[in-house]
Chain A
Amino acid sequence: MITKLTHLCVYVLDQNSAHDFYVNKLGFKVHTDVPMGPGARWLTVTPPEQPELEITLFPIAEGGVFDAETVRTMKALVRRGTFGPAVMTCNDLLATYEEMKSKGVEFKKPPTREFYGFEALFVDDSGNFFSLSQLNP
């Protein structure tokens, strides 16, 4: 029986920029940041209220199964906004939306009423989009 999700992978174009975005704009905490040889780094962050879920900020770079063509294709797809890796939630979407906007986060959709509550869509610094929701009580 599967019990929990421990790691979630988000492909990013630049790890330093992703670190700044997830920590300083979204308020996530760095869980692990370990150098893995020249130019490589294992970097995971956790949502502010969910310290057990590590989000891997995985760079799209050559090495292992990532050959040059795969890297080119992946980067183009991420940049184009093809991937929506996760849905996030908050206590109050309007307050969170205001705060994120004041920090320069780009929203594809402002808070909108949906049948389950409110939802907005934002993009990270690479182009991945995330749904941010406030569920009905």
Chain B
Amino acid sequence: MTPASYPKMYLYRRIVQAKLFIDQHYAEPLDLSAIADEACFSKFHFVRLFKSAYGRTPHHYLIKVRIDHAQGLLAKDVPVAEVSMRVGFESSTSFAALFKKQTGMSPSVYQRRQRIRKMMYRGNPLTAVPNCFAEARGWKNSNF
């Protein structure tokens, strides 16, 4: 690494810290201006650098992280309204709209599909596994 690249690395560390902060505190009411202040950036500069590193503005990244976690909770059969609150959305209507925008389906449809998928795997685990892998592992003629 050249000496000229050191300030750039310092900059990157601050952006990475901001991203990790969002990853850890996504469920809390986050003030992205405060995160920019914490990282010692102007809000405009922070948004620009964050977007160039992660392909999304901090706000859109926060929504993505919340929806990703929501998918995990829905798959565990947590009720939709509770999921919305647990991942940090103030309104379940905006949660449903943003969830649909990201995944292409409503939270309740997603949950129903996950439930069906789980039931199918419980009935016959081999439906989850491509045949070649099942044969390689010797699962083909097993009763689970």
A interface list, Cβ under 8 A from B: 7, 9, 29, 32, 34-37, 40, 42, 56, 58, 63-66, 91-92, 94-95, 98-99, 102, 110
Q: How far is the CB of B20 from chain A (nearest CB, A)?
A: 7
Q: How far is the CB of B56 from chain A (nearest CB, A)?
A: 9
Give 29 pairs: A residue, B residue, CB < 8 Å, sorted on A: A7-B133, A29-B68, A32-B121, A32-B128, A34-B128, A34-B129, A36-B125, A36-B137, A36-B142, A36-B144, A42-B129, A42-B133, A56-B133, A64-B135, A64-B137, A65-B136, A65-B138, A66-B137, A91-B52, A91-B55, A92-B52, A92-B53, A92-B54, A95-B15, A95-B19, A98-B9, A98-B16, A99-B19, A102-B20
Provide the residues of chain B in CB contact with A56, threshold 8 Å.
133
Asked if B1 lies at the interface with its beta carbon under 8 angstroms from chain A, I say yes
Residue of A nearest to B133 (CB): A56
Provide the residues of chain A in CB contact with B136, threshold 8 Å.
64-66
Provide the residues of chain A in CB contact with B59, threshold 8 Å.
none
Given contacts A34-B128, A42-B133, A64-B136, 12 further A-B contacts (CB under 8 A): A7-B133, A9-B133, A34-B125, A35-B144, A36-B125, A36-B139, A37-B142, A63-B138, A64-B137, A65-B136, A99-B16, A99-B19
Provide the residues of chain A in CB contact with B16, threshold 8 Å.
95, 98-99, 102
A37 adjacent to B20 (CB under 8 Å): no
Provide the residues of chain A in CB contact with B8, threshold 8 Å.
94
Residue of A nearest to B117 (CB): A32
Complex formed: what's the CA distance from A66 to B137 in Å?
A: 7
Complex formed: what's the CA distance from A31 to B144 in Å?
A: 21
A98 adjacent to B128 (CB under 8 Å): no
Q: Give the contacting residue for B129; candidates A36, A63, A99, A110; CB below 8 A.
A: A36
Provide the residues of chain A in CB contact with B52, threshold 8 Å.
91-92
A95 adjacent to B53 (CB under 8 Å): yes
Complex formed: what's the CA distance from A91 to B121 in Å?
A: 36
Provide the residues of chain B in CB contact with A32, threshold 8 Å.
121, 128
Residue of B nearest to A51 (CB): B103
Provide the residues of chain A in CB contact with B3, threshold 8 Å.
none
A37 adjacent to B54 (CB under 8 Å): no
B53 adjacent to A37 (CB under 8 Å): no
Complex formed: what's the CA distance from A88 to B18 in Å?
A: 23
Q: How far is the CB of A22 from chain B (nearest CB, A)?
A: 15
Residue of B nearest to A29 (CB): B68
Q: How far is the CB of A133 from chain B (nearest CB, A)?
A: 15
Q: Give the contacting residue for A35; candidates B19, B71, B125, B130; CB below 8 A.
A: B125
